[in-house]
Each structure stands twice: as C-alpha cells, then as structure tokens.
Structure 1
Amino acid sequence: MGTVCPVEGTSTTLADGFQTKEYEVAGQEALVKELRALFQTIDVKALTTIASKFRGGISCFVKPFRYDKAPSRPAMGAVNLHLELVFDDGLSWMARLKRRNTSTLPAAVQPYLIRSEVATYSFLKKETRVPVPEVFAYALDSNNPVGTGYILMETIKGKNLLSTSPTIEQLSKVLAQLAEVYKELYRHPFPLMGSLDTPGSTNVGPVVHDLMVDLALTNNGDRVIQQLAGFPGPFINLKDYYSVLIPRILHMIVVGELYPFWAVDAYLIHKFLFDLLGQWPEDMQGTGKFYLRHFDDKGDHIMVDEDFNITGIIDWEGAYTAQKAEAFTSPIALWDSKEFFSERKTLSNSELEFAQLLDGAGHGGANHPANFNLGDCVRLGKIFQRLRICVGYTLYDENMENYRKAFMGLLREFPIRHEESWEEWRVFALKKYSGDEKLAGLLRREG
C-alpha cells in the first residue's frame, strides 16, 4: 500500500518567503505527518485503476499537491482530503477521502456518512435541477483495494465563492442563481426530519450529526472493536430533535468532552434552552413537510466561474431535511457576523436582497406561520441560525463573548423575562438551577 504519495514539499515558510508563526509551523508539520501516515495506509494506484475502469480503460494519474502552499489548501477540508485524478484525455475527477485527525468521526461512523452523502448527491442529480457533481463510484469503508472509504465524483470547475472578492453586481448575480436553487429545493418536500440514507432512494433516516452518534464496543478475540449502534431519528419536528440532542450535550459538558474551559456557562445555556423547548412559538414547531438543506453553507460550497455563474453546489456531507422555516434561512455566506453576534436581528444587505428574490415563492396561502413565503423565512430566520450556533457548536475560547451575545439575541425571540445583560442573566440562571447537582459539580471543578 501507499505506492504513490502525491504530497510534495514540507516547507514551513509561506510562499512569499516569510517565516510562519510558531503554531503555524507546528500545525504544518502535523498536517504533513498526517498526510504521509494516510498514504501509508491507502493504495493510490488502486484508486486510479478503479477510476480508469469506470472510464472504459482510459488511464489517469493523481495530480500532485503541496499543502504547504496556501492556494492548494481549499482542496482539503477539516475532515476530507480531495485528490484530483487527471485522465489521459484531459478530463478530471475528484476523489473524496476521509482524513484521520481529531476532527474526523470514528471509523465505525464513516460508512453511514459516506452513504448519506452519496444518497444526497444521487437525489439532487436525478430528481432536481440543483447543480451538483455526479458520483461515479464509492466505497463505504476500508474493505476495498484502496484501503479506505471514498467517493469518486465529477470535478466542478471554478472557484468557491468564499475565496473570491465579487463586486456588488457580481454578488447580486450569484444571489439570483442561489434563489433558484432554494426554489428548486422547495419543490421536493420530505415527510420527516433526517438525512437521506440510501443511494437511489428518497428514504429519510436518522439525522447525521457528530453529537448524535451512539457507539458500541464489542469483543473480537483479544481486540475491542468500536461499532456504530446508530443515530437517533428521524424526527417529526425540530423540537423533538433538540429534545434528544440537548441532553446529550449536557452530559458531554459534565464529563468534560465539550466546552471544557467554560463548562458552567455552557451548561447554564443548554439547560435553559432545554427548558425553553416547551415555550416554542407555533412557527418553530412545523410538522409534515421538510426540505433538504446544506449543513455547512459558509460560502465555499458554492462554486462559480470567472463570470460568477454558479457551476455547482458541493460538499453535501451532513445535509439533512429541515422544516420550512429553518430550511430556507439565509446561508452563512450572507451573514453580517458583527450583527449576528449581537442581540439584534438586523439582516445584512445581501440577506435583504436575497429575501426579495425569494418573495412569492413557497407561499401556501393559508394564514399560518409555516406558510410564510421563502423570503419571509430569510427575514425571520435568525432564531434558527442562533439555535444552530448555541446548541453544541464548537467555538474557540476567545469567541465565548460572541457565543454569549448570540444566546442573548436568541432569548429576545421568546416571550420570557429579559435580563438586561449576560451578567444579569447568568446570576438569574445560577439561582434558577442552584439545586442541580451536576451544575454544583461543574462549579466546584471551575473553582
């Protein structure tokens, strides 16, 4: 195995020759070490042989890359490595493989993730007009000649939107196209909240979420094997989903697996949000129709050409079906982060423009919150966006202040008492949960 390693270079300087900071050097060294270890366990030659077979015998090779060069890094995400396979006739495919680091889920979970992602691409490609790459072949686990699970797919040309600097006119052009994608997704409802789990089918299974994993340990001779016991769900509404997710997060906070440096604040927030589930307004409890939404819509999922035509929407890992009011909120790419991490509900100019492009689409005509048109989903969507950030979202410690502001902004959405500041709310919450033994333990731990 590891017959070909397309990683070039181990430089610890930037392309312009300036020395990186010490932690960047350490990070780069760890990255190269990780990639070299990965290529010791996979057979790249087998990957090119499989790709060649699916193209009628046309030979291909893996294009070398340098991950010590900033322009190359968009080809690799936190959990996926992308190899470009170039055929002799000039066509190229992309091989998507799981990385092996602290961000990746256990190996027992990865077959479900791959199957769900392939099922999502299959549905979008066959049933909708959403531009996505075609999947040609895939393997769910390491039990194949390559030595790891993979997806072989069409290469989408262009640059990701996050890496560009569009003018106002160019961004408007992208928004108009993205609005058509939203409208297309609205034409294909599902009966439950969850993730597609069977390629070639519209079956909705459990929600793919790293905090919703149930693992089991089994003995196999002298080895202990970790197996996927399952994911909870699917669910009939978002409230039921959070009723399962939040208790899991509370447990992980108590045992030190989440928010270790500010466990008390995180525990108070999640405990209060769990109690708040019973006070959700009607428009947050939609049941009956759910729509596919991208999980990581920060902008690098939108590929554009030099004229800012959308060439594809990529990276559908973790996609799930959500109720209308959540499914059609604005993508992260359009947020004004300063306004979002505040207690206000102000929309960015791009969000307002996007909402206008969606006005009139998806209006059911009935006098019910769930029948707002898609533009209204953008205008009223901050409550769902802040929920996604406040429940289980991993933030760096220096961003805790932003986390608190997002939480306080979320509280303003509910008809409950409103403290003037985070400090006042924290005093209230400590008193409210003063009899909670788990909170008492966290307080002792933090001193």
Structure 2
Amino acid sequence: MAQPRIEPSPSLHSRDNNDEDAELFSAVLSALDKEQLAVLASAVLQRIQPLHTRPNTKPSIAEPLFGSYHVLFPLTFDTGLRWIAKIPINGTKRKWDELSAAALASEAKTIRLLKRETAIPLPDIFDFSPTTQNALGCPYILMGFVSGTPLYDVWFGHRMNGASPDIVHSRRVRALESIASAMVQLDKFTFQTSGCIVSDSTQSPPTIGPTRRVDHKAMLDRWFIHQDPDDDPMYIECAVSSDPKQLYTFMLDIHPEHNSISQGLVALLRQLISWIPEPCGMDPFVLAHPDFDIQNFIVSEEGELLGLIDWDGVAAVPRSLGNERYPGWLTRDWDPAMYGYKKSMEYVDEPEGVWEDSPQCLAYYRSIYDGIMARYRVERRPGSETNICRMSLVAENLAIAAENPPRRSAILQKMVEEIWATAGEGEEPDFIDLANMFAENKVDVLVMERLEKGFHILLSKEGL
C-alpha cells in the first residue's frame, strides 16, 4: 500500500556499513549463527546441484548490508556463484511471531510462483525458513544474487558519471519500457479479495490470506508518546477483504485522530478516497510489487531490466494501486514531505541528499510511462477506457497520506491545490478552513461540488 522506508538491494552496495546500522541489528546479529549459514548454503547447493558441487564446499560470507527491515549477507562460492541470505531485523526468538512467519513464507512462495509463471526477472529462491527453529537460529531466505547496475545510477547517469543527457534519456525510456513489460505480466494474478499468497500450488489458483503491514502510526506513538527509543518495525495484520476502499482506510480506522484539525484532514482524505473509481468488469484486486521504487530495480548499463527485488509484503491490492500504477520515483513531486528537489541541483556536483528530477521532468516521464501502459492496455484489454496508470498519481499519494500521518497534511494540501486549479471555478478555500469544515461536517455545498468535479477531472488529466 504505502511506501516503506528505502531498503538497499543486494546489488546496490550503496549503503556503507556503520556502527548505527550494527546497533539497530545487534539483536538479530547476535542470534544468527554465521558459521551455520555457510554450512546451510553449502548443503542447499549440494541438494539443488548434486552433480556440479564438490562435498563440503562452503561459501565465504562478506560483511552484511543493512536495510531498513532486513540484513543481507552476500555469499560467494569458490566457483564464483553468488547468493544472498536475507534475515529479518525482528528475526529473534523473542520478537518473531506468526504474522512475520507468514509474511516471509508468502514472499518466498510468491517469487517462486512468479518465476514459474512469468518472464519477470527475479532472483532464484533456493531455500527459506519462516521460523527461528533452524540451524541459524533465525528465519531466512536464501536467494540468488542479481548482478547489474542500480537503476538510480543509470537514471541519474548525467549527474553521477557524466553521461550525456541524450544517452541518459534513451536509457530511461528503455528502463521504463522493460519495467512496464514486467508489470503487465502481473495481470495473470487477479483476485476477488485482497491479501497475500499463502499457497502457490501448481494445481489450483493461489490461496489468499491476511497481509502484514507496517504500522507507522504505532511506531510514531512509541517514540513520541511512550518515549520508547526502540527502532524495530511494528506490524499489524490486515484481514482479507473484498472492499478495495477498506485497504485505503485500514490505518485510519485503526488509529482514529483526536485533534480537531487532524480529524478534519482525515475526513477530507476519506472523502477523496471514496471518489476513486475502481475498474469494472474485472477482478478488483491484482498482485503488485509492494515497494515499486527505484532502489528495487537492477538494470544493464543501457537500462534493460535485469532484476526486480525486495518483494517483502507482496499482496493483491486494489486495481487503482496495482500493477499498472506509476513507478514511485515518478510521483515524488506529489509527496512534498519526501520530495527534495531544488533548482540548485542543476548546478552542483553532489546534492545533500539524493538526486531528484524537477517537477517538469517527472511529468514528462510520467507521460512516457502512461503511453507505454496505454499500448499494453489496448493489447490486453481492448475497449477498456479506465486509465489506471494515470489516476494512480492521485490514488497512490492518497494511500500514502492514509498510511503515514507525517506526510498527510502536505499531500492533501498539494492535492487540494491541484483539484482547485483543475476545477477552475471560484476562489480556493484556505486549507485550514477547509479542514475545519470537514471536522465539523459543515462543508459548503458549492465547495464540495467543486472538490468532486475537480477531483474527477484530475484523475484523468493529461500532462500531470
């Protein structure tokens, strides 16, 4: 649903190990038996490649790479074969639970299913254990290493390695073409309900079960209300549902607001969400990548997709948030709290944070991706008039606003500004006044009509 914190891919090598990372992962690093990790990998290799493996061949284990929710151990065999061991941050006997076990198993089974049924470039899953009751003392996934170049490095090649703008443009388009080609293959996996894949049997359609979601509000309360500095993720179970809107509003229902302005923002958010149309004549839910952002794509130097990684939390989601949506790095300008573009980036060698594209540049590449998806839509759903890709700019950011309270106000203010500019009628109301109107359930009829009119125009408007 919403975008989690950035987690580096096994192929990125973009985040240096440091004392802070080691401290965050100290519990699981203490619980993990690294010697047994090498033994396990050797045994798995001998099981899957018995004719090509010498007995007792153990891989070397490189220093770990730390993400937000996992630690990754690169493994290298003396034949040059490279694997990755993925260990969850909460993978200790004290913190591991059934919900997390189900999520890990679902991730591994879903990747295997997609490897079997699609041509999406994915890492091989060699072995996994969703329990702490194993030789490592921690749950794990053993997978293949995806070689290639991080898409971030290719996308910003003109900034990072001096590639010409024309070359970078062609590589960007090639990346978007291959990413769209991968995403449309998820059309094969549609469902009547939301949820994670529980069974990937080849004899029947996949079975769907509850989803594990990061509870950002609970984590904020832990830090700022309960004064607990613990940085481990907090999760919550989201039940299977046949209502697409329930997936949007789940966190709003779990965590009601008590401040008047906050209540007004939630009421406004709920109203906008209620106006998002879901496509008719097809299953309402489709499998989608859970973190469709730039750090999870590995490409060739020319931009061709070589690997799509980090499927933690993969689930069937509403079509409006599904496999036809824009890639996350193309919609950053609609999430002001996270968007860091400054005009000065055009003149510096290195930014304070990450490189960003200008709003005009993002709109341009959104139009390219929208055009690519339009071609696929004509091929796969002749006669369909619903442009899921285009309206996902609005839908995805409303989902983020529902999931992440710190980003809510800025996203809604941006949304109201765009709605009013699109409607082209009357003076835009003061944002705080509008929140108060919704908090008191006293929204002027004309204001509501213009909001709805502008919102529906915005969903399908070209050039955003």
1:393 offset after TM fit, Å?
1.6
Equivalent residue letter for 2:244: L
Change in CA separation of 1:381 and 1:34 when aligned onto 2, cut-off 3 Å: closer
2:397 to 371, 377, 386: 386
Q: CA deviation at 1:29?
A: 3.6
| 2:243 matched residue in structure 1 | 237
Q: Does 1:181 pair with 2:179? A: no
Q: Deviation digits for residues 30-58 of structure 1, max 9, x if unmatched?
A: 32333444322110111111110111145
Report the counterpart of residue 198 of structure 1 in structure 2: 199
1:103-118 pair list within 5 angstroms: 107-108=96-97, 109-118=99-108
1:51-104 Cα shifts (integer Å, max 9, x gaps): 1011114523343327xxxxxxxx432001110111121101100001149xxx
Contact 2:330/2:365 (<8 A) preserved: yes
Q: How does 1:19-38 map to 2 (within 5 A)?
A: 28-38=18-28
1:431 maps to 2:437: no
Quote how far apart the aligned CAs of 1:123 are.
1.4
8 Å CA contact retained: 2:260, 2:439: no
User: In 2 relative to 1, CA 315–394 (structure 1 residues): closer, same or farther, beyond 3 Å?
Assistant: farther
For residues 401-416 of structure 1, what are the structure 2 equivalents within 5 Å? Answer: 402-406=410-414, 408=416
SS of alignment partner, residue 300 of structure 1: helix
Task: Give the conservation status (yes or no) of the 8 Å contact 1:157–1:303.
Answer: yes
Contact map agreement 2:244 2:284 (CA 8 A) in 1: no
Structure 1 segment 338-353 matched on structure 2, within 5 A? 338-341=333-336, 348-353=363-368
Counterpart of 2:294 in 1: which secondary structure? coil
- Kept after mapping to 2: 8 A contact 1:211/1:248: no
> Relative to 1, partners in 2 of residues 1:112 and 1:410: Cα closer, same or farther, differing over 3 Å?
farther
- Evaluate the alpha carbon distance shift between residue 84 and residue 28 of structure 1 in structure 2; reply closer, same or farther with a 3 A threshold: closer
Cα distance in 2 for partners of 1:400, 1:273 equals 9
Q: 1:315 aligns with which of 304, 310, 317?
A: 310
Distance 1:116 1:286, change over 3 A: farther
Q: 1:289 to 1:362 in 2, by over 3 A?
A: farther
Q: CA deviation at 1:145?
A: 1.1
Q: Which residue of 1 aligns with 2:298?
A: 303
Deviation by residue 1:333-385 (Cα, 9 ceiling, x = unmatched)? 222x335549xx9861111101111223234345xxxx336xx2222222211
User: Identity rate of aligned residues, in percent?
Assistant: 17
Per the TM alignment, residue 403 of structure 1 is displaced from its structure 2 partner at its CA by: 3.5
- Cα distance in structure 1, aligned partners of 2:298 and 2:45: 25
Larger RCO (CA under 8 A, 6+ residues apart): 2
Is 2:146 the counterpart of 1:156? yes
Deviation by residue 1:263-306 (Cα, 9 ceiling, x = unmatched): 654443224434666x4354378862422111111211111122
Between the aligned partners of 1:390 and 1:286, the Cα distance in structure 2 is 28
Alignment match, 1:141: 131
Q: Does 1:210 align with 2:218?
A: no
**Matched residue, 1:170:** 171
Q: By how many angstroms is 1:406 displaced?
A: 4.2
Change (3 A) 1:394 1:34: same
Q: Is the 8 A contact 2:61 2:73 kept in 1?
A: yes
C-alpha contact 2:417 2:428 (8 A) present in aligned 1:
no
TM-score, normalised via structure 2 length: 0.68
Distance in structure 2 (CA, Å) of the matches to 1:211 and 1:426: 24
1:123 maps onto 2:113 in alignment: yes
Partner of 2:451: none
1:91 paired with 2:89, answer: no
Equivalent residues, number:
363
Secondary structure of the structure 2 residue equivalent to 1:423? helix
What letter is aligned with 1:361? Y
What amino acid sits opposite 1:246 in the alignment? Answer: L
Q: Do the aligned residues in 2 keep the contact of 1:351 with 1:378 (CA within 8 Å)?
A: no
For 2:269, give the aligned amino acid: L
Instruction: Work out the CA distance in 2 between the residues paired with 1:418 and 1:365.
Output: 41
Kept in 1: contact 2:61–2:74 (CA 8 A): yes
Aligned residues of 2:278 and 2:319 also touching (Cα < 8 A):
no
Structure 1 alignment gaps of length 5 or more: 1-13, 16-26, 67-74, 215-227, 255-262, 434-447
Matched, 1:421 2:430: yes
| Aligned equivalent of 2:369 | 354
Q: 1:372 to 1:134 in 2, by over 3 A?
A: farther
- Amino acid in structure 1 at the alignment position of 2:124: E
CA 1:428–1:213 in 2, change beyond 3 Å: closer, same or farther? closer
> Which runs of no fewer than 5 residues in structure 2 stay unpaired?
1-14, 47-54, 158-167, 219-233, 338-358, 443-464
SS in 2 for 1:133: coil
Q: 1:430 to 1:183 in 2, by over 3 A?
A: closer
Cα distance change of structure 1 residues 280 and 60 upon mapping to structure 2, 3 Å threshold: same
Query: 3-state SS of the aligned residue for 2:211?
Result: coil
Structure 1 residue matching 2:278: 3-state secondary structure:
helix
Give secondary structure in 1 for the equivalent of 2:440. Answer: helix
Counting only pairs closer than 5 Å after superposition, residues 35-74 of structure 1 correspond to structure 2 as 35-56=25-46, 57=55, 59-65=57-63
- Picking from 385, 389, 395, the partner of 1:372 is 385
What is the alpha-carbon root mean square deviation over aligned residues? 3.7
Helix, strand or coil for the counterpart of 1:151? strand
Matched, 1:247 2:263: no
